[in-house]
Chains A and B, each alone.
Chain A
């Protein structure tokens, strides 16, 4: 795939940081605000597609991406299976626990938990799974775009 004009490349360079931050925000706040791993991953994935269109697909490491894809899914299912240690599949063993991963207690107000109001470092396994899904979706979407891009532009199978 060829590189596009300097105008496109500059715009993509400028848009890169805010788009990435937005996607990361959606992923990390998956347990607090609408959105989550998939939606944030799709935003970063579309950023990758933009990058790919602007700069060409030759420099991308597909093996790394498919490794990331498997890895994200493994973290997801692994977190679910780890819940079995506490006796139940997908049990949220991190929430309110001593393990310092997203373990802060959700503050209560008037006796009710205000999940929309909680700090970022809450959610336990939900946040971990959001991250895992985010990584998986970024890698997966980028792979799809690369495969389709290579196929469309070079007429050969990319996968």
Chain B
């Protein structure tokens, strides 16, 4: 076998091994070779892992064949279909796994490059990079793993590494609090997950996800769905929704997100998305995709009971998604801590992904799936990548803002745009993308979700659009508070160091590429992922227009139209009367009816007051929300257990009581 062939065969293991080896060598390198070599070493490690992931993804997505890898088995071992022991550590990388791996690779590259300068202010850099690499390995592990027990192990590694990084700033009490809350959440989630895996193993004697899926389908075919199947699905849905940070299991997430160092928060987002990935794996590979066969554009339902269970789970995920979108964005609107605000937006955006894929699950294997369900799923999965890019970028810009401003309070910032021009541009790119403003990448994925979800249920579609508006509103507030206005005296001047700018530029560049050619990304990355989950292939014709089933979107045409509008405007402007200057009151720019200057001093409305009227009018909504987010972990755990109980009971008693 050629070198390249064996490299590809071993790639899932190598991608895990690189971060692990670099993690354990980092402390030694730091001690014996110094800090600058250590930083170089860290960048090298993440680049190696990234290149390896690109090579593997190219192979998996190009050939369409999944890579199956058995640890410690003889070379070319045929597993799990024939022979061998059914309990082996296996990796299984298909289109969806490769897609998620790419996300982890891109965001971690940006985060590590950004960290090189960012970490200089702090001591303990070797611990930081060690934990960062462990977290990266755990992220890769969660999305590559082929068996459930291994998934649990990576789930725990990820939780521990994230908590270790969240308390990186040991001088802050808040970081201990945030990490402890997140650790308790993840431990409860991990124990529930272990319990579910135990139930499945006791029932079917397998741990491999594909084999378990076949075993569940086989048992459902012979004796109908048993209680274990339903309860396990309930537990898994609630555990992975918790890991993804969906409302109402989100309460520890903003605390941890906002306290972790900025590059870590960017990777934290991908760690949460690994939970999302596991949720989709559960819904489709473990349960849904064995209930039907798909050939010649028609579905043949083999197991209606199992399919109905998956539909109900899809509805639960939709409800969680809508809750996450709405509660996340409304709570983000009232925040004054810049990172907390963005953390709530992360929750809100997670809702879109849950919504898109939830709709796909709720109409799986019906005629509606080919009508709009597949588009909704493509939108939800495309949104995962977009979210990782723009949310990672926004957290990195937040880190840059805090780096220069020395505060995270929006009310105390101002005028940073005068010195930090690059950061401001990056922030605008990220903010437009997250708000889904055309022609950014966030718009293309949201368009897929809007149009398909609107056909599924118009009310939910309308909520999705409203949430986008509120998102834009709250980022206008951040931009206004941080970058605009007069410069504050206590702010340090100048732009952030180059490595931080490069880190942000990596993500911003990816966003621009994704914005210009969204349909190519959908065709080459997203469609294979959807196919891996459902077995339904997408449209294979490649062109630059993205078809949503209802309409179409082409960035180039849009930009051309904008250009023409600008030219028309310029022509009209040039033909107008020259030299008109506004006189009198018209000269003064007004802001919400108040003069912008009093006695020669500029007036700046603090960030937390910008939407004062809005929040005051909705007091009846915000006051109970404020009381619910009490900061007490006991209450948070109560909500978590309550929600998990509701989900488990709904799925467990479906068909029995309901």
Q: A67 — which chain B residues lie within 8 A by C-beta?
A: 27-28, 31
Chain A: interface residue total (CB-CB under 8 A): 20
**Is the pair A89, B13 in contact by a Cβ cutoff of 8 Å?**
yes
Task: Kindly specify which of B16-24, B38-46, B352-360, B392-400 makes contact with the partner chain.
Answer: B16-24
**Is the pair B24, A74 in contact by a Cβ cutoff of 8 Å?**
yes
* Cα-based distance from A98 to B13 in the complex (angstroms): 26
Given contacts A66-B27, A70-B28, A157-B170, contact A90 B13 (CB under 8 A): yes
**Is the pair A88, B10 in contact by a Cβ cutoff of 8 Å?**
yes
**Is the pair B21, A70 in contact by a Cβ cutoff of 8 Å?**
no
Q: B586 — which chain A residues lie within 8 A by C-beta?
A: none
* Cα-based distance from A80 to B16 in the complex (angstroms): 11
Residue among A67, A88, A92, A157 with the highest chain B CB neighbour number at 10 A: A88
Chain B: interface residue total (CB-CB under 8 A): 21
**Is the pair A89, B28 in contact by a Cβ cutoff of 8 Å?**
no
**Is the pair A73, B10 in contact by a Cβ cutoff of 8 Å?**
no
DSSP class of A's interface residues: helix, strand, loop or mixed? Answer: helix
* Cα-based distance from A83 to B71 in the complex (angstroms): 10
With an 8 A cutoff between CB atoms, is A120 at the interface? no
**Is the pair A84, B24 in contact by a Cβ cutoff of 8 Å?**
no
Given contacts A77-B17, A77-B21, contact A87 B75 (CB under 8 A): yes
Q: A74 — which chain B residues lie within 8 A by C-beta?
A: 21, 24-25, 28
Q: What 1/0 flags go to B418-453 for Cβ under 8 Å of A?
A: 000000000000000000000000000000000000
Within 8 A of B (CB), among A142-158: 157
Q: What 1/0 flags go to B2-38 for Cβ under 8 Å of A?
A: 0000100010011001001101110110010000000
With an 8 A cutoff between CB atoms, is B73 at the interface? yes
Q: A73 — which chain B residues lie within 8 A by C-beta?
A: 20, 23-24
Q: B6 — which chain A residues lie within 8 A by C-beta?
A: 87
Q: A157 — which chain B residues lie within 8 A by C-beta?
A: 170
**Is the pair B17, A83 in contact by a Cβ cutoff of 8 Å?**
no
With an 8 A cutoff between CB atoms, is B551 at the interface? no
* Cα-based distance from A74 to B17 in the complex (angstroms): 11
**Is the pair B28, A81 in contact by a Cβ cutoff of 8 Å?**
no
DSSP class of B's interface residues: helix, strand, loop or mixed? Answer: helix
**Is the pair B75, A80 in contact by a Cβ cutoff of 8 Å?**
no
Q: B74 — which chain A residues lie within 8 A by C-beta?
A: 88, 91
Given contacts A77-B17, A80-B17, A84-B10, contact A92 B28 (CB under 8 A): no
* Cα-based distance from A86 to B170 in the complex (angstroms): 45
Q: A90 — which chain B residues lie within 8 A by C-beta?
A: 13, 71-72
**Is the pair A77, B20 in contact by a Cβ cutoff of 8 Å?**
yes
Shortest CB-to-CB span from B72 to chain A, Å, is 4
Which residue from A63, A77, A81, A92 sits with its C-beta under 8 Å from B72? A92
Shortest CB-to-CB span from A65 to chain B, Å, is 12
* Cα-based distance from A37 to B72 in the complex (angstroms): 18
Q: Closest residue of chain B to A136, judged by CB? A: B24
**Is the pair B21, A81 in contact by a Cβ cutoff of 8 Å?**
yes
**Is the pair A89, B17 in contact by a Cβ cutoff of 8 Å?**
yes
Shortest CB-to-CB span from B575 to chain A, Å, is 71
Q: A70 — which chain B residues lie within 8 A by C-beta?
A: 24-25, 27-28
Q: B20 — which chain A residues lie within 8 A by C-beta?
A: 73, 77
Shortest CB-to-CB span from B443 to chain A, Å, is 42
Q: Which 10 A-B pairs have the closest CB atoms?
A: A89-B13, A73-B24, A87-B75, A90-B72, A90-B71, A74-B24, A77-B20, A70-B27, A77-B21, A70-B24
Given contacts A81-B21, A87-B6, A89-B69, list 17 more A-B pairs with CB under 8 A.
A66-B27, A67-B31, A70-B24, A73-B23, A74-B25, A77-B21, A78-B21, A81-B17, A88-B10, A88-B13, A88-B72, A88-B74, A88-B75, A89-B14, A89-B71, A91-B72, A91-B74
Interface residues of B (CB under 8 A from A): 6, 10, 13-14, 17, 20-21, 23-25, 27-28, 31, 69-75, 170
Q: List 7 A-B contacts (CB under 8 A).
A: A81-B21, A84-B13, A84-B14, A88-B13, A88-B71, A88-B72, A90-B71
